[in-house]
Structure 1
């Protein structure tokens, strides 16, 4: 909120509520997407882009390392995010990427954040 107030040149002494500041920002920049929606869409688009190619990035994305994962709570991997957002297993998502139109529809549907 401090950044929004600085952009609009609103001092804290002016006693303007955060809701009013958000409304003024909404008027100034128009409707925009949530950050989570943008991140999901870009990750899914990148995954589709790399999966269609035959370069080093695809080899690294699909490759595995010998051994197990570390102790404790496991970090989310990129394929965990893909599986969670699309509802498809890794092999099925690879086949879905082959059809660009199907993948674009899946990305649009999966990147939407429920309100």
Structure 2
């Protein structure tokens, strides 16, 4: 018996639609992540402490790991401090979260 799987072939139009769908999903993820950032920054909670917290001790060698807030800075085109200030005002953050930068790519 043959153990290969039969997968449907995608035509030109199907792959184009799949690409558009992936872009829409990525845009939704970016928007929700920016909104969640504002939600965390406006409240005093354990999550805010975790997000801003520093770990005692020395860090490991090599390149620094990418942090969660680095995506926010990249997608908005602003620094973390400026994003934090704008997160206090819901209207400013709402306008930023509706239009995340297109060149900021979603990490895979």
Counterpart residue number, 2:3: none
Alignment of 1:11-90 (within 5 A): 12=8, 17-22=10-15, 26=17, 32=21, 34=23, 35-90=25-80
Residue 101 (1) aligns with residue 104 (2): no
Runs (4 or more) in structure 1 with deviation over 6 Å come to none
CA RMSD of aligned residues (A): 2.4
3-state SS in 2 of match to 1:59: helix
Write out per-residue CA displacement over residues 62-89 of structure 1, whole angstroms, 9 at most, x where no aligned residue: 1111244322333210121122112222
**Matched-pair contact (CA < 8 Å) for 1:44–1:82:** yes
Quick one: structure 1 residues 60 and 17, their matched pair in 2 at CA, closer, same or farther if it must change by over 3 Å? closer
Give 1 or 2 for the bigger CA radius of gyration: 1
Which has the bigger relative contact order, CA under 8 A and spacing at least 6?
2
- Partners of 2:91 and 2:49 lie apart in 1 by 24
- Partners of 1:56 and 1:83 lie apart in 2 by 22
User: How many aligned positions are there?
Assistant: 94
Whichever structure has more helix as a proportion of its residues is 1
Residue 113 (1) aligns with residue 102 (2): yes
Moved more, 81-90 or 56-65: 81-90
Write out per-residue CA displacement over residues 14-55 of structure 1, whole angstroms, 9 at most, x where no aligned residue: xx65214347xx5xxxx7562321221121111111111111
Gaps of 5+ in 2: 1-6, 104-108
- Partners of 1:92 and 1:56 lie apart in 2 by 22
Q: TM-score, normalised by structure 1?
A: 0.65
